[in-house]
């Protein structure tokens, strides 16, 4: 009888190309999504009438409030993307947390600009998946 028990991968094993690719792509997507969200925040700050909200929605903020939310969150996601690209563990953790916050804030922003909010939510979901599923693979 042969022993075919599970043997964990050695710490010397190089990360797979797929894992590295997903993490790099997630970092670049964080930089892009953060920049896009910051731009959306600046638009809300400088042009109050650009976003029009529907009536009777749970979270009714004015355009200036949404502008500050998107600008600050976008800048945080933008800079966390560089931490992810540098291979920092804290950058991956921060990236997941910020992507969750970004997705939640954009869910609340759907009545103001539906297509944009759903596109950013989709990017955030991919970022969360890539950082959570392949984040450890990058360090070998």
Q: Is residue 74 part of a domain?
A: yes
Give the chain as a 3 state SS string. Answer: CCCCCCCCCCCCCCCCHHHHHHHHHHHHHHHHHHHHHHHHHHHHHHCCCCCCCCCCCCCCCCHHHHHHHHHHHHHHHHHHHHHHHCCCHHHHHHHHHHHHHHHHHHHHCCCCCHHHHHHHHHHHHHHHHHHHHHCHHHHC
Residues 19-37: pLDDT tens digits? 678 888 888 989 998 998 8
Q: Is residue 4 part of a domain?
A: no
Residues 38-84: pLDDT tens digits? 998 898 888 766 766 666 666 666 778 888 988 999 999 999 999 98
Output the pLDDT for position 125: 93
Residues 88-115: pLDDT tens digits? 888 889 999 999 999 998 888 888 788 9
Within 10 angstroms of residue 112's Cβ, the number of other Cβ atoms is 22
What total of structural domains would you count in the chain? 1
Domain extent at residue 115: 29-139
Q: Is residue 41 part of a domain?
A: yes
Residue whose C-alpha is closest to residue 50's, from 5, 116, 4:
116
The rounded distance, in Å, linking the Cα atoms of 2 and 66 is 63
Residues 109-134: pLDDT tens digits? 888 788 988 998 998 999 898 888 86
Which phi and psi (to 5°) does residue 4 adopt? -115, 40
Q: 26 is written with which tokens?
A: 């997630």
Output the pLDDT for position 140: 46
Q: Is residue 105 part of a domain?
A: yes
Q: Is residue 82 part of a domain?
A: yes
- The verdict on pTM exceeding 0.85 is no
Output the pLDDT for position 87: 83
């Amino acid at each position: 009888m042969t022993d075919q028990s599970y043997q964990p991968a050695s710490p010397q094993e190089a990360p797979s190309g797929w894992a590295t690719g997903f993490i790099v792509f997630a970092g670049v997507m964080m930089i892009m999504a953060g920049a896009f969200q910051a731009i959306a925040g600046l638009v809300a700050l400088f042009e109050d009438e650009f976003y029009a909200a529907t009536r009777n929605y749970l979270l009714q903020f004015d355009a200036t409030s949404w502008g500050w939310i998107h600008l600050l969150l976008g800048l945080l996601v933008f800079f966390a993307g560089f931490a992810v690209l540098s291979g920092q563990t804290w950058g991956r953790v921060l990236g997941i947390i910020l992507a969750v916050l970004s997705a939640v804030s954009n869910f609340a922003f759907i009545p103001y600009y539906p297509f944009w909010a759903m596109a950013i939510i989709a990017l955030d979901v991919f970022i969360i998946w890539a950082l959570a599923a392949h984040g450890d693979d990058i360090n070998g």
